[in-house]
Structure 1
Amino acid sequence: MEAQLEQIREQQKATWNKFSAGWRKWDDFTMDWLRPMGDEIIRSLHIKPTDLVLDVAAGTGEPGLSIASLAKDGKVVITDLAEDMLAVARDKATAQGIRNYETVACDVCELPFPDDTFDAVSCRFGFMFFPDMLVAAQEMRRVLKPGGRLAAAVWGPPTQNAWITAIMGTIGQNIEVPTPPPGAPGMFRCAGPGFLSELFRQAGFQQVTEKEITGKLRCGSNDTYWQFMNEVAAPVVMALSKADEATREKIRQEVYARVDQQYPDKQAALDYGTVVVSGTK
């Protein structure tokens, strides 16, 4: 791996390990929010009871743990860069009585599995952060059995995702936030029309399909929204760390006003838009 890509990988590993406590605290809330994309991934994979499945960039364990409940006579290998995130997944599996799984901390661009190993591969909101997305897709295809399926979810364009633009847009109006170079890992890196589908085709996948899924992040109040974003959203925390207390409070008030203007019901139910893409080896 190139030195620059390796540096990105190590920075990401450190970030996700750092934020694992916040993801543990908000796990029920977050997994409920992201469940529709996980359900669509699972639907696309056509899981059979005996399947061996790989869940890449699984974080706290989804949709891998849900897949394990379907592949009762098979197994799910749950992977992520951050060992501290996988620790949450293991605790959840224990609480749910799930045993047909294992966790492996690894890099998607160097998957430690033989060719033609898995019946299916899932990846929910990982692709846009991979240092080399094409290599990642090729690695997923390599470890799939012939005829195996990959399904992945990514965020749609900023205009569909007020849940993040409401706060990041307000931050950007108050403090200088560095603009990442074009193509750098980030939330909307895969948001272009057909972007991930074309990447799948380049990696050699066939019968590529995509489906748009929209919905709302239902926070119930501005206070909950602010607290959630400040405990799980790394870009928010990193940007606000550069602001003094007065500026942070100004940003908070402006975020509340912005949300109330966009969503007058006072429930802080903010829009999101995603795309789920699947393909066959």
Structure 2
Amino acid sequence: MNTPSKVPMPDEEGQQWDRVAAGWKKWWPTIENAARCVSKRMLELAEVEPGQRVLDIATGIGEPALLAASRVGPSGRVVATDISSRMLDIARERAAMSGVSNVEFRQADAGQLDFPDGSFDAVLCRWGVTSLPNPPDALAAIRRMLAPDGAFATAVWGAAADSRPLAGLATAVAREVFDLPAPRPQVPSLPGSAEDALEKMMIHAGFADVRTERIRLTLEWASTDECTQYVLDVSPELAALFLDRPSGQQVEYRQRLAERLRPYVIADGGVRIPNMTICAAGRR
């Protein structure tokens, strides 16, 4: 979910994600039950194999880093970075609980990584690249960090309404209830679809054999109340908005969002929302 605001500084952004780290831990089964198919496809596109060195950028609380760690095995190594120290603390807990010892977690701004040239056989970034202030520069840096013939695989959200319906609804209701200004029109950095834009950015950064594909993933909750609580727990923007809002407005927000979720309610009262993400891969 993106609200109209200035681009946060790295320290500020890290604090925003720190505030929702507990929410991500709470809802991780819900998130990963839907998103695991995306992580698996990214590893396939990057052709991650035993013994390789892998970098996972913006890992959050540990994915797809932990999946990559199982793929590269004890002879391989995974480095996972994120801007949030609390997210990384949870990632380390998950790794320890799973008995994974071949992954290292480092706090770092995704837009300022400084690993030496050729450090990794594969680089992964699930839903992080396009949120950076300067994606083209980030892609160029990622390519530099890859070994010759190394592969980069990413997943990004498109701009279409079917990309992330819940994020769109949550943002629209927040504007209504909290009387936020309408978002300023954004001129796309490249013409055409999100797939075309991403492919062109990667080619411009020097990647070869670039390819993109769409993957459908479905998030599920037991009720509209549970879905609404999920949004409030995992969204840094909403968490910040709710910090100083009157309780009446908070109740109104919950009620309005629950109402907007009705089209996604299934027979047993649960909520099922399909999403569409774009995966892309290329080689150095």
TM-score computed with the length of structure 2 as normaliser: 0.88
Equivalent in the alignment of 2:70: 69
- Secondary structure at the counterpart of residue 155 of structure 2: strand
Q: Structure 2: which amino acid aligns with 1:267? A: G
What is the rounded CA distance, in whole Å, between the counterparts of 1:60 and 1:220 in structure 2?
A: 23
Equivalent in the alignment of 1:165: 168
Q: How does 1:80-159 map to 2 (within 5 A)?
A: 80-159=82-161
Equivalent in the alignment of 1:272: 275
- Secondary structure at the counterpart of residue 159 of structure 1: coil
Equivalent in the alignment of 2:3: none
Unaligned stretches of 5+ residues in structure 1? 185-189
- Secondary structure at the counterpart of residue 250 of structure 1: helix
1:219-271, Cα deviation, whole Å (9 max, x unpaired): 12111101111111112223344642222222222221221134453311112
1:181-200, Cα deviation, whole Å (9 max, x unpaired): 6669xxxxx97342221111
Equivalent in the alignment of 2:237: 235
Kept in 2: contact 1:82–1:105 (CA 8 A): yes
Aligned length: 272
Residue 98 of structure 1: how far off its partner (Å): 0.5
Unaligned stretches of 5+ residues in structure 2? 1-5
Equivalent in the alignment of 2:30: 29
Q: Percent identity?
A: 28
- Secondary structure at the counterpart of residue 194 of structure 1: helix
What is the rounded CA distance, in whole Å, between the counterparts of 1:201 and 1:29 in structure 2?
A: 34
- Secondary structure at the counterpart of residue 154 of structure 1: strand
What is the rounded CA distance, in whole Å, between the counterparts of 1:198 and 1:10 in structure 2?
A: 31
Residue 59 of structure 1: how far off its partner (Å): 0.8
Q: How does 1:199-218 map to 2 (within 5 A)?
A: 199-218=201-220
Residue 214 of structure 1: how far off its partner (Å): 1.5
Q: How does 1:30-69 map to 2 (within 5 A)?
A: 30-69=31-70
**Structure with greater contact order relative to length (CA < 8 Å, sep ≥ 6):** 2
Equivalent in the alignment of 1:18: 19
Q: Structure 2: which amino acid aligns with 1:231? A: D
What is the rounded CA distance, in whole Å, between the counterparts of 1:178 and 1:151 in structure 2?
A: 36
- Secondary structure at the counterpart of residue 150 of structure 1: strand
Q: Structure 2: which amino acid aligns with 1:213? A: I
Q: Structure 2: which amino acid aligns with 1:93? A: A
Residue 6 of structure 1: how far off its partner (Å): 9.2
Q: Structure 1: which amino acid aligns with 2:54? A: V
CA RMSD of aligned residues (A): 2.2
